[in-house]
Amino acid sequence: MQPLHLIIFTAIWTATWISPWPKLAKGTELTLGLIPFGAFGLRVFASFFQGVPTDDPVRQAVAPLLAWVAGETGAVSYQAVLDTTIALGMVWFASAFDIPRKSRVATAWILPTVAAISLASEAWLGMPVETALAHALPSPVIAALAGCGMAAVLWWTPSEIPHKVKAQAAIVLLVLTPAGAVDGILGIWLAEWLGWQTPATVPAIALTVGSMTSAAAWVICGLERPRSRSLLALAAGVVAGASTAL
């Protein structure tokens, strides 16, 4: 992502996150939620064609879409569309999980901090921060660091959740995120040993690991409100799955 593009959209995302949005109607909430998931889904779909020969008939049929997602074509880039849907997703996120504005304001610093780290990584290392981490650290360590970060945010963000429940949820994040990444590595090794390695193997294992981690987090996190449980489960699953896919 170009530095100016990242700076502009970070400002948009931060302003969107801290704005006093009202509780959305169910239909509006559902629509806003589906838009960013659909945009991200295009990238996941494109990843299944990595390593597939260019003369494959299925790949040829979707070649224009793959080229657009890769940033090779289009008057409006896929990245710009995706980043716009992220802003919509933040509005959905705040409404769907009933995140109060004081909590959103308290966590707004995360967005510019991540952007600054990304810019520094590109400037000093010549690669995105996730690529640099993948080269330097094994995926369970990356997942553990992300779990520590999420646990710290959970603990220090103002909320009405009792400290005992916060502690249990934080421990779940600390344990399940690296455990999920370990399961992912074992799954990839097993697939290679069995000769099942294809371009779709790693994405499929990452999706499976993320789903299993989310389910486990939902069951044992200790949070009482269903939406809070869903939010924590989603975060744990995304980290475990993304770490596996690195």
Coil/strand/helix, residue 21 = coil
CA-based torsion, 136, 141, 143, 145: positive or negative: negative
Show me where the domains of the chain are located. 137-246
Cα–Cα distance for residue pair 123/52, rounded to 1 Å: 32
Tracing tokens 């889904």 back to the chain, one arrives at: 41
Question: 120 CB contacts (<8 Å, ≥6 apart)?
Answer: none
Per-residue pLDDT of the chain (246 residues; tens, 9 = 90+): 688 889 999 999 999 999 998 888 888 888 888 898 888 888 878 877 877 888 888 888 888 998 999 888 888 899 999 999 999 999 988 888 888 898 899 999 999 999 999 999 888 888 888 788 888 889 899 999 999 999 998 888 877 888 899 999 999 999 999 999 999 999 999 999 988 877 778 888 999 999 999 999 999 999 988 888 988 998 999 999 988 887
Cα–Cα distance for residue pair 46/23, rounded to 1 Å: 34
Question: 100 CB contacts (<8 Å, ≥6 apart)?
Answer: 159
The pTM of this model reads: 0.74
